[in-house]
Amino acid sequence: MNHVLKELKAHEETEGESIKHYYSKQGLPLSYWHETNEGIQGSLPRPVLCVGLYDKWYELFLVHPDGRVEEVWFSEMEKDAAELHIVACPNHCPNPMVVQKFAERKGYILNNEAKEMIDGRWFLDCKELCSDELELIIKKAYGRGIPQEVFEEMRDEAFDGEKTGVVDGIAR
């Protein structure tokens, strides 16, 4: 991980002041950055919700218009999860629907890169589960009222059409 930080800092130095990167308190890069010559710094109307660029997430991050970085713990999203009747954050990956609702409720901008990373991680985590577990997660994530044909279509896409518990050719 240190080599990634060194490369980012080296790139930032060669770019001069034109790109502003943000980091967690531990010094790890965040998904949000901007070009300073675009005049974004200080002119954002609302804070930006983003993720850290690393393997496991224990929190999200908020970049305020003044440049301050604040941790946002998954427990802060429990109210949104309860309103949606879904799980907020199993296995270090926040539910994309909960994150979106949380950002809207708080008036935050959800960083596009963060949204893509959260959606992708959520899909991959669901894909790795066996068929029965996938059904449980999908129904919890999208509510109990999901029609059976919609569930079967989602399951079939995740399992490449297999209903046998085989994911990417590996028996589960």
Is 158 inside a domain boundary?
A: no
> DSSP labels for 53-95?
SSS--SEEEEE-TTS-EEEEEGGGGHHHHHHHTS-S-STT---
Beta bridge partners of 61: 50, 71
Beta bridge partners of 34: 20
pTM (two decimals): 0.63
Is 146 inside a domain boundary?
A: no
Is 151 inside a domain boundary?
A: no
Q: How many domains does the chain have?
A: 1
> pLDDT tens per residue, the chain (172 residues)?
444 444 444 444 444 557 788 999 989 899 988 766 554 444 567 899 999 998 778 899 999 988 899 999 999 999 998 998 887 777 778 899 999 999 999 999 999 999 999 998 888 777 666 556 666 777 777 666 666 777 677 767 766 544 444 443 333 3
Is 157 inside a domain boundary?
A: no
Please state, in angstroms and rounded to a whole number, the distance separating the CA atoms of residues 86 and 162. Answer: 26
Is 171 inside a domain boundary?
A: no
The whole domain housing 60 covers 2-127
